[in-house]
Amino acid sequence: MNDLFQLILLSVVQGITEFLPISSSAHLIVLPKLFNWEEQGLLIDVSMHFGSLIALSMFYIKNLNEFKNLNSTKNYISFNKILIGSTPVLFFGYIFHDFIEANLRTIDIISILTILVAILIIFAEFFKENTKKISEINNFDMLVIGFMQAIALMPGTSRAGIIIFAALLLGYNKKSSILIALVLSFPVIFLAMLYKLYSLDSSILDLYQVSKISLSVFTSFIISYFVIKYFLSYINRIGLYPFMIYRIIFGLALIIFFT
């Protein structure tokens, strides 16, 4: 496999999985193992996440009315609520980052969490009556969701998946649960990207590396934007079950072929 194919495939996978409840980190760990590639490294990782971040920013700006109740200046996802929902994952991520990188990026853990979270989301969607809208979110709900989001530091959990699970348990409908996950993804992706940028060696940059960065950012951006747009458009029609079935199949395949 040449570098160009690897770069494009990883960027496409990043764009597809970042905002779906199927765990981008799990796929980006498993894919190099599947093709016997070297890990993509920080440079490409940052580039892919930057593309997803641009897509999220553009979507947010173009669809601002989805994120707040225009009849109220009080009850929407304000900066204060975003801070409440983001603090737990940023705190635990800072404390346990090195431990997670060294001990939890294994196929065994990824496969178990992939299946377990799928079962939890199926349970929540089937048994819970979900009528609350994003305009009804309060500080307590956001704090609960924030602590649940911290669990997604473990690969295979899926940040979007665990937030959707928490929101469903709190009574929010599917579309609102996904909107909450999208809003909370911005600070996490942005700060994780800054952390990785800080760790990069700028001396490795040359024309070839810049071209790889550009291609990765562009590919991840295009795929991410369309995933966000159409996931929200069709979620009430297709539901979450197809994604959870995929998670279970993916988790079982990892157990069969890698353990």
Segments making up each domain of the chain, as ranges: 3-258
The helix/strand/coil state of 172 is: strand
Identity of the residue numbered 25: S
Distance, in Å, from the CA atom of 175 to the CA atom of 232, rounded to the nearest integer, reads 6
Q: What per-residue confidence (pLDDT) applies to 71?
A: 39
Q: What is the CA radius of gyration of the chain?
A: 18
Question: What does the block give as tokens for 113?
Answer: 């969490």
Cα dist from 202 to 40, 47, 54, 173, whole Å: 16, 14, 22, 45
Does residue 30 contact residue 9 with C-beta atoms inside 8 Å?
Answer: no
CA 216 to chain centre: 17
Q: What per-residue confidence (pLDDT) applies to 188?
A: 92
More confident: 35 or 76: 35
User: What percent of the chain shows pLDDT beyond 90?
Assistant: 59
Element housing 34 (H / E): helix 24-35
Q: What is the tens place of the pLDDT at every residue in 206-258?
A: 777 788 889 999 999 999 999 998 998 888 788 899 999 999 999 999 999 88
Q: What per-residue confidence (pLDDT) applies to 164?
A: 95
Q: What per-residue confidence (pLDDT) applies to 212?
A: 86
Does residue 179 contact residue 137 with C-beta atoms inside 8 Å?
Answer: no
Q: What is the tens place of the pLDDT at every residue in 8-27?
A: 999 999 999 999 999 999 99
Q: What is the tens place of the pLDDT at every residue in 164-220?
A: 999 999 999 998 899 899 999 999 999 888 887 777 666 566 777 788 889 999 999
Question: What does the block give as tokens for 238?
Answer: 């297709």
More confident: 182 or 127: 182
HSE-up of residue 217 (Cα within 13 Å, Cβ side): 13
Mean per-residue pLDDT of the chain: 88
Does residue 9 contact residue 223 with C-beta atoms inside 8 Å?
Answer: no
Distance, in Å, from the CA atom of 193 to the CA atom of 214, rounded to the nearest integer, reads 16
Average pLDDT (59-65) is 78
Q: Which DSSP category does 201 fall into? A: -
